Amino acid sequence: MLINISSYVTEADSFVFMVFSKTFGYAIRSILFLAASGEDKRIQLTEVAAKLKVPRHFLAKVMKKLASEGVIGSQKGPNGGFSCTDGTLKTNLFKIVTITGDAAHFDSCVLRLKKCNAQNPCPLHNEAQALRHQWLDLLCNTSISDLIKGQQPDFIRSIAVA
């Protein structure tokens, strides 16, 4: 039996469904936008922000961090902008999770108990650990290239929906 869980959750509780931060979402979406636009093309931050419908100043911080970590390229000047590098499409999602600071969530207790661990598990510890391992497997074995494969004609629009 399928349950429509959204009918049980108020807007204030929507954080329950957020697995990763907005930073992670903006990072992935901006990388996908660059990859879909062409590997050799440089794109201005203002265009990326406008097409993805995200705040320009926040996106600037995210993309600067991605560039400093070598995930994407960045060039200043009138012909500058952000672009894919040789390694962009090979980058796995776990690297993006690490860059955006979301990796810390993998070690925290789902019940937010401070002393939850294998020796002192909370009631959900073992089930949560199994899910963590599945998430880590997915993130480590999924690359940007995997996400861009088979893109639809309206791919950019699909990643721009907020």
The CATH number of residue 97's host domain is 1.10.10.10
Nearest to 98 by CA among 66, 51, 73, 143: 66
User: Is residue 107 assigned to a domain?
Assistant: no
User: Is residue 96 assigned to a domain?
Assistant: yes
User: Is residue 138 assigned to a domain?
Assistant: no
Nearest to 33 by CA among 80, 82, 77, 66: 82
pTM of the model: 0.80
User: Is residue 72 assigned to a domain?
Assistant: yes
| 135 Cα distance to chain centroid | 13
User: Is residue 88 assigned to a domain?
Assistant: yes
Tell me the average pLDDT across 83-93. Answer: 95
Number of domains making up the chain: 1
User: Is residue 127 assigned to a domain?
Assistant: no
User: Is residue 81 assigned to a domain?
Assistant: yes
Which domain covers residue 53, as residue numbers?
Answer: 20-101+144-160
Specify the amino acid at residue 162.
A
Q: Where residue 16 falls among pLDDT bands split at 50, 70, 90? A: very low
Is 58 within 8 Å of 65 (Cβ atoms)? no
DSSP letters spanning 59-102: HHHHHHHHHHTTSEEEE-STT-EEEE-TTGGG-BHHHHHHHTTG
User: Is residue 47 assigned to a domain?
Assistant: yes
pLDDT single digits (tens) 117-133: 889 998 988 888 888 88
- The encoded tokens of residue 9 equal 């959750």
Kindly list the distances between the CA atom of residue 22 and the CA atoms of 29, 50, 94, 100, in Å, as whole numbers in the listed order.
Answer: 10, 16, 15, 9
pLDDT single digits (tens) 28-39: 999 999 998 876
Kindly list the distances between the CA atom of residue 130 and the CA atoms of 34, 58, 60, 89, 125, in Å, as whole numbers in the listed order.
Answer: 34, 34, 36, 28, 9
Rounded CA-CA distance 62/48 in Å is 12
pLDDT single digits (tens) 51-76: 999 999 999 999 999 999 999 999 99
Q: Position of tokens 């996400």? A: 147
CB burial string 16-45: b at 16+ within 10 A, e below: eeeebeebbbbbbbbbbbbbebeeeebbeb
